[in-house]
Amino acid sequence: MNLLLLPPILFVVVLGLVLLFVGLVRPLAVKNTKPGPGRDKAYACGEDVKIHMGQPEYKQFFPFAYFFTIMHVIALIVATAPSGNVQIAALAVLYLLAAVMGLFILFRS
């Protein structure tokens, strides 16, 4: 039974189950062979939208990416720190303080 827990074997088993599921569901899929006008346009609730290619700058994206990355890593580190070990708890608190300092630097006005 432990053989099924090996990642390569489990991957092949799950892949086989997914392919079986796709094969069983494929006949239920809607087949639309009529290309109508506007099939390649983005859906905009019936509004006619001109082609617009927004290109945000990296500096608009970075604060959000940094914030969510730091918050998730902080949650992971603090939640998985063992409670009995004082050194690891102190390291988690130190990491938390460094992350808070990084967030203050990020959102300074």
Per-residue pLDDT of the chain (109 residues; tens, 9 = 90+): 688 788 899 999 999 999 999 999 999 988 776 777 766 676 777 677 677 666 667 777 888 888 888 888 888 888 888 878 888 888 888 888 988 888 888 878 5
Between vectors from CA 12 to CA 10 and to CA 16, what angle results, nearest 5°? 115
Tokens of 85: 């070990």
Domain ranges of the chain: 1-29, 57-109
Q: What is the pLDDT of residue 13?
A: 93
Amino acid at 62: F
Neighbour-count burial for 2-39, b at 16+ CB within 10 Å, e otherwise: eeeeeeeeeeeeeeeeeeeeeeeeeeeeeeeeeeeeee
